[in-house]
């Protein structure tokens, strides 16, 4: 059966057709030899070549098939020795991993959320705030929301499409992470690490997990038949009420697991693991072929406490996505957000003191706001030292039928911004974003069919960038300046230092940039306020490296990719400069909030393992 003509990237990544490579040997080799010989081939050139062969063969090869064939024939000696550059040419979308790591998103299961935010979708089949027809959510549902299945399947899809799988950023999404039971959290993260490990050695245990889920879990697709629809206009029941009722047996199964703790035999789908088991999985990952170089969770400001930041750190987390949504108490109250701006200030301070990267979510067009209020709010986010996030998702409020906002819309109390209003707000926001912040997303990628009224253009970022370009303004945030696939040499780069105050001390943003300020690498250094008590003994008199990021196509650990920024030694140069600055500031130590898979990297640079951080004495 041939591949259907038009599939989305996600469909292509999960589409399965098993070709007998030996049967297709000659045409495959002909295509691949051309790709090998012509280093300058573009993606369009490859498409044309594949189409020419398709005319005579009657079969159109997919990129994943060509990549599999290349690996196969390079290993068998039918083609010259394996060259990662050929995989780069064959890849459909090199941009996905161009920031140096491959992101794997994993969703938690449907579960109550402490929030009652009126703009938040209430899709009972999903963890709070996600919609079942978003591509990532569909993948999670197909995999029973199981962390092992989701991680392994995603890694396999990336591998099949030629993406590197040695450096992985794990992004855990869904509701409020800190509200899930601790045992679930430990188990969830441990199972992700199990999948990284198994994938690295190609030991696929998915059939075993799948069978176990099928026999015990209501979340298995064959049993997950929930069809409760919540209409925000009447809110006859809340998400929390519905999810507890619909998934009653799944919730009971989770509770009963606690009673099984004493048993020696545990099924891989029993949502229980100990800290010791997780830490053993961490240690395993330090030298594994498939390493976790970043771990992200998402939570609410009022669920951050001293205890929580240290607990989340113990899970191996390096970045926290946190919903600011608004910095205006009146707007927060009107949207039933359930916390004040003071909670956001406190959360940011604690996260920063603990060295986390802070990835904020902010929403213009909330009920009770206006374009001018939003622009003020955004301005405050970077003018006030209590906020100043490292990364930001701007999600203009969208009206979803299941959200309580429907009532306000129907009563004429809320309207979506017009195209021009939204464009005005976002162009102002872009211009107010400092160089140290990365605008990771602008507009949430909600399927247009779910949006009742308002903007449906998911390419609004492009629209804003075009508008700014038209006015002769260049974006200054990190994403707008990344060198991406551009080759840069060290002599084209100069070091630049940006200092700004925060609620936890002083922040230094070290960056290597070209003359036109394109960014090839950066480091975030927190110099602590001496009047603030450190959160742990490890951080006494310590400056903290919160992030080191060097751009360039992710290449397998140990391989180099000529000319790309990632291997120009920028990471080491940034760390050495950070050590100098920390010393000048009077710090006795330099700590780093390293990811599990980067511990080896820091050890080589003089850092010693502590309990939650790695520390270098200055």
Binding site for ligand SF4 (CB under 6 A): 113, 115, 117, 120, 128-129, 175-176, 300, 323
Q: Are the C-beta atoms of 16 and 60 separated by less than 8 Å?
A: no
- Minimum CB distance to ligand SF4 smaller for 160 or for 335: 335
Q: Are the C-beta atoms of 26 and 7 separated by less than 8 Å?
A: no
Rounded least distance, CB 451 to ligand SF4, Å: 17
What's phi and psi for 454, nearest 5 deg? 105, -170
Which uninterrupted H or E stretch holds 85?
helix 84-90
- Minimum CB distance to ligand SF4 smaller for 175 or for 200: 175
- Minimum CB distance to ligand SF4 smaller for 185 or for 511: 185
Which uninterrupted H or E stretch holds 510?
strand 505-513
- Minimum CB distance to ligand SF4 smaller for 305 or for 617: 305
Rounded least distance, CB 123 to ligand SF4, Å: 11
Rounded least distance, CB 338 to ligand SF4, Å: 7
63, 65, 68, 71: CA torsion to nearest 10: -60
Q: Give every CB contact of residue 212 below 8 A, 6+ residues apart in sequence.
A: 267, 268, 269
- Minimum CB distance to ligand SF4 smaller for 183 or for 238: 238
Integer distance in angstroms from the first to the last C-alpha of the chain? 63
DSSP annotation of 315: T
Rounded least distance, CB 172 to ligand SF4, Å: 13
Rounded least distance, CB 351 to ligand SF4, Å: 17
- Minimum CB distance to ligand SF4 smaller for 175 or for 571: 175
- Indicate the SS3 state at residue 378: helix
Q: Are the C-beta atoms of 27 and 53 separated by less than 8 Å?
A: yes
Q: How far apart are CA 128 and CA 386, in angstroms?
A: 28
Rounded least distance, CB 416 to ligand SF4, Å: 18
Tokens for 320?
A: 């926290």
Strand partners, 400: 451
Rounded least distance, CB 432 to ligand SF4, Å: 24
- Nearest residue to ligand SF4, by Cβ distance, number only: 115
- Minimum CB distance to ligand SF4 smaller for 366 or for 596: 366
Rounded least distance, CB 304 to ligand SF4, Å: 13
Q: What own/partner pairs with CB < 8 Å and gap ≥ 24 does 80-88 have? A: 80/36, 83/36, 84/555, 84/556, 84/559, 84/561, 85/39, 85/561, 86/32, 86/35, 86/36, 87/162, 88/162, 88/553, 88/561
- Minimum CB distance to ligand SF4 smaller for 131 or for 555: 131
């Amino acid at each position: 059966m041939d591949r259907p003509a038009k599939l989305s990237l996600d469909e292509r990544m999960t589409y399965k057709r098993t070709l007998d490579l030996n049967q297709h040997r000659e045409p495959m080799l002909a295509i691949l030899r051309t790709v090998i010989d012509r280093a300058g081939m573009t993606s369009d050139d490859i498409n044309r070549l594949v189409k020419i062969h398709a005319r005579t063969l009657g079969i159109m090869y997919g990129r994943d098939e060509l990549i599999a064939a290349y690996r196969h024939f390079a290993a068998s000696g039918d083609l010259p020795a394996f060259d990662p550059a050929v995989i780069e040419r064959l890849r459909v979308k090199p941009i996905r991993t161009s920031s140096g790591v491959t992101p794997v998103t994993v969703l938690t299961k449907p579960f109550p959320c402490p929030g009652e935010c009126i703009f938040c979708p209430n899709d009972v089949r999903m963890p709070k705030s996600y919609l079942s027809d978003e591509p990532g959510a569909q993948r999670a549902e197909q995999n029973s929301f199981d962390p092992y299945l989701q991680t392994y399947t995603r890694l396999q899809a990336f591998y099949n499409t030629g993406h590197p799988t040695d450096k992985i950023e794990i992004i855990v999404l869904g509701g409020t992470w800190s509200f899930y039971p601790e045992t679930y959290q430990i188990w969830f993260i441990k199972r992700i690490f199990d999948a990284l490990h198994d994938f690295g050695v190609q030991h696929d245990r998915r059939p075993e997990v799948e069978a176990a889920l099928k026999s015990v879990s209501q979340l298995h697709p064959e049993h997950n038949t929930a069809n409760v629809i919540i209409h925000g206009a009447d809110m006859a029941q809340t998400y929390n009420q519905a999810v507890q009722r619909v998934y009653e047996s799944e919730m009971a199964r989770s509770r009963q697991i606690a009673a099984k703790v004493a048993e020696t035999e545990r099924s891989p789908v029993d949502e229980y693991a100990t800290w010791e088991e997780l830490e053993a999985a961490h240690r395993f990952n330090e030298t594994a072929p498939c390493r976790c170089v970043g771990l992200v969770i998402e939570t609410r400001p009022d669920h951050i406490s001293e205890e929580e930041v240290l607990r989340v750190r113990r899970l191996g987390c390096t970045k926290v996505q946190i919903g600011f949504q608004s910095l205006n108490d009146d707007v927060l109250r009107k949207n039933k957000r359930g916390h004040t701006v003071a909670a956001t200030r406190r959360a940011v301070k604690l996260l920063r003191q603990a060295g986390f990267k802070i990835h904020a979510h902010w929403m213009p067009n909330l009920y009770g706001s206006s374009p001018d209020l939003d622009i003020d709010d955004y301005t405050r986010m970077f003018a006030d030292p209590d906020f100043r996030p490292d990364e930001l998702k701007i999600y203009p409020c969208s009206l979803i039928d299941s959200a309580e906002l429907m009532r306000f819309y129907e009563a004429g109390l809320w309207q979506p911004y017009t195209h021009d209003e939204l464009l005005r707000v976002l162009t102002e926001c872009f211009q107010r974003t400092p160089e140290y912040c990365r605008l990771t997303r602008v507009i949430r990628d909600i399927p247009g069919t779910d949006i009742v009224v308002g903007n449906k253009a998911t390419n609004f970022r492009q629209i804003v960038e075009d508008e700014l370009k038209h006015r002769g303004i260049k974006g200054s945030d990190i994403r707008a300046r990344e060198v991406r696939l551009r080759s840069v040499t060290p002599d084209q780069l100069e070091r630049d230092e940006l200092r700004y105050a925060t609620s936890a001390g002083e922040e230094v943003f070290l960056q290597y940039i070209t003359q036109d300020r394109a960014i090839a690498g950066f480091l975030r250094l927190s110099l602590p306020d001496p009047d603030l008590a450190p959160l742990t003994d490890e951080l006494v008199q310590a400056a903290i490296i919160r992030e080191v990021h060097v751009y360039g196509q992710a290449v397998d650990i140990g391989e180099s990719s000529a000319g790309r920024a990632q291997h120009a030694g920028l990471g080491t140069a940034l760390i050495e400069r950070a050590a100098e600055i920390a010393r000048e500031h009077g710090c006795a130590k330099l700590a780093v909030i390293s990811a599990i898979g980067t511990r080896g990297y820091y050890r080589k640079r003089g850092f010693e393992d502590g309990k939650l951080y790695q520390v270098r004495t200055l």
